[in-house]
Structure 1
């Protein structure tokens, strides 16, 4: 009767805690079940105040270089209370849906960003987690077959295949396990001689099982590390205890299932693992803590290859800047190296009235197939379409291309009143000249593709004063990028801006965007433009405030180009001057060095014979290397 009455009561929902180990900033799905924890906090600054830290309470945080994510597991064991304990990484999560997602040979679903779409796609919410966890005893990541990713015969072979892991350490742990728990020998043999296992130390367990596992695991690891000479170990080898735990987890589960039998074994299942290649949080910039009236925001877009040119442009701008104004220089990018960012900021630190900031546009640009129609126009040119969302605290900014130099105080340009217009820009002499050509091709293009009523108002988009409030009214970022994804534009984003902003432009004096004479176009194209426009351009060449090296004839490729000496007067003062000269000399940027494994390993039993019949450095030796690599399936 009592049992019947008790069973009729509604069950309390299980308390599930899925601990997400992180050692760097990362986006974490929001949910009561998802608990982020900073690992290795004892050895690093507290970067994340809004999460747990593995150096609070009873902990082994200082062992993180060896134990990896296990320091979070130990912390949860000693300090947290739950019905289910689970563990993921900042970039690896379980897939809590009932869908089968495509995975690679390593048993991982590969995806990009941890965003709302991903959270829905993989059920990273409290409801989905509870649905997949409740009722099970143990959940692991997929059982991977080591024969599928590298052709390893078994788990011992797989361990030995890692250049940083040593078989003697695996054997030592095996000996410790068998000495402490001789009843586990059969299971250790079966797992290590087998070819399937779950990896990554990702699992979810009922409380009692989790406690049993931790009471069994950590004494094993502690005994191993106490006897282990790791004084000269490299960073990866130092992580050996974490790798050992991956194997021990499989042995622990195998043992229980064997001795319990089919009727009393744990209810176990595997969930797919999703690996996010970009787990970093959504980047955001904050307004500067300065009087907005003094700030001149200037936006650039560049990639890592364009760093020397970007730096030259920014340097020229700041060298002519008003010391009474402050310049917020923001670079939109997605692959500039941390070293180059540091080089840029350190060099430009000589200007106390400027701050250099970088904004990663990867997330905003994800999912768009954007291409350009000209070899000298890069996809970075589309980054300007995301400015209105990336900088919500600005109503007005300057946008400058990175293939120009500034010869005046850019604050004068920023102060140009736009009224209600979306943009301030200079008419494009090249385009206007083409409009007047007898073949009529450009006029036809404007009419059929751009649908402009006043084609001779077409502007050049390398120098823009942007009214962001008005730009937001015209289109959302998604709408701008959707238009940009359409094919058939000659000048890509510039055509789109002209098409969508026609009649919404304040036209600037030509000296703010003096295009240089690329391939003689001043007297072969520009002079076809309306006479008044052409004369104004010629006059602006005498006092250029900005010289724009638009087109293929760049001063870092041809120092004799129009206004070339002016460019080099700035470029030679930057820390990237030698790189710029290397581009000039057509010296290709070297690819990162790749370490190749020895074709014949140092401890190979055939090495002594190889040394005898094919001495190192001989032609015979090189031939033997080729044969050895082919036998190993290597190139």
Structure 2
């Protein structure tokens, strides 16, 4: 029986997975020792329960850049410390292999039960040996819509391009497999694999050589090496093309820890109902295990206690909701620029100023929509294009990297430009130039991206199809016409459905009857003059043989009409008006 070690990376206390195979390792321990006092309980737990990546030859201090790879580097350089295993693999404290073959999915574990979890993922030392022994490697392979595009939608394109450039300089033989890999939909994620000893050493020499050269060619002081996942994917794709190697693919699990989600919303005397509607939407879509910390931002002296008490009702209705009022001494358009200063303990925050409805729990959005590469990630001011170099944002939905904004004193620079009369959006886009990302398309439906506007008919898809597709995404943004004005709009039904749940103390949104009447009149004309396109006529049946025509006729017209049709055809053949085709 082979010796197998699966490293499990920890950076904070969590459920401990540890046996003769599962080997927990504290990543970034060198930094933790500097950051925490020796008697810190979290540090003590990590020191007592697992090995660290800071002994022998190591890059533990670079964990902020290399992420989980500091554990692999330590294992590579200190392999004997693990007992010189025949196989070595990597998992994470919340991500583990699911020991079932040939599945390309991620099992999201929402209600984690420590007592039954290993059974859920089909884990036992015996199962691991059954799966691994005799193989050269085992890997997780997940599915996305185009591997290259998926990376660009979430991270910096230029980083991946540079990493690949370096790789091909050093290993030109990888060119074809790289092109095939980036054109495909399957990839290794989270750097999760199990390699034989020989392959592991080849992999480490290969990837760390590339990453160390990457460090020489660009500033990595604020980078995390997300590129390592795609490089690992290329390495594994190359292994899979080697017919002499035996391998298996297995899925992974993800334990969803409850998270606290900070959400900042501007509120003023004109949008009190809209803000209450937005809060209701977020909380109604929530699953209840994440907590929401709402920061309601208001101009000094312009929100009285009566209104504040109405908003506090949400805390009574939803146990996972907290409301805090934040007084601002600047105009609302500058709130996103100043927020990181007003919330000094918040490192990542959602800011939402547009008219929207939330259709899914925001936990997944907050976790996956990474700001690590940027100052801010948000909705584009124009059409969505993840590949465009000069990105510009609208203030509708933003995810702010408050830690980096504070570090770079964004507000101090913004104050000067605000005094010159520049708009908040102008300043945000100018000061964050090169540090802007777009929220991936699969999180937001924007009304402006579809051809409806004030129309209610006329798309190639039915209204039902368009509405169903909107439910696949977390956010629905009304950036064309307010849904309380355009109540017949294709997406407005979601806003009105949510309005039912808004506390009655908030009354209703102020409306302009003349605008509504004018829009209704225009839409009624559209309805009255609408002519649906005729269905396409299939003439292919004319080329069928007689048996083929009879089969086609029966499928579309039933038995009675088919008998009538066939009798007429028979008579025409008998009197010589038609010949039987056997084509």
Range class of TM-score, shorter chain: 0.3 to 0.5
Greater radius of gyration (CA): 1
TM-score, normalised to structure 2's length? 0.45
TM-score, normalised to structure 1's length? 0.42
